[in-house]
Amino acid sequence: MTWEIEIDPQLCMASGSCAAIAPDLFVLDGAHARPPHDRIEEDERALDAADVCPAMAITVRAAGKVLGPRP
Ligand code: SF4
**What is the pTM (predicted TM-score) of this model?**
0.96
- Ligand 1: atom nearest CA of 52 is 1
- Domain 2-68 matching CATH 3.20.20.120: the answer reads no
In the prediction, which pLDDT does 31 show? Answer: 92
CA distance 69 to 71: 7
Which residue CA neighbors atom 1 of ligand 1 most closely? 53
The segments of the chain whose pLDDT lies below 70 read none
What pLDDT score was predicted for residue 45?
Answer: 98
Helix spans in the chain (H): 17-21, 44-52
Cα of 63 to ligand 1 centre, how many Å?
23
Segment holding 4, helix H or strand E:
strand 2-7
Domain spans of the chain, in order of start: 2-68
The tally of CA atoms less than 13 A away on the side-chain side of residue 30 is 1
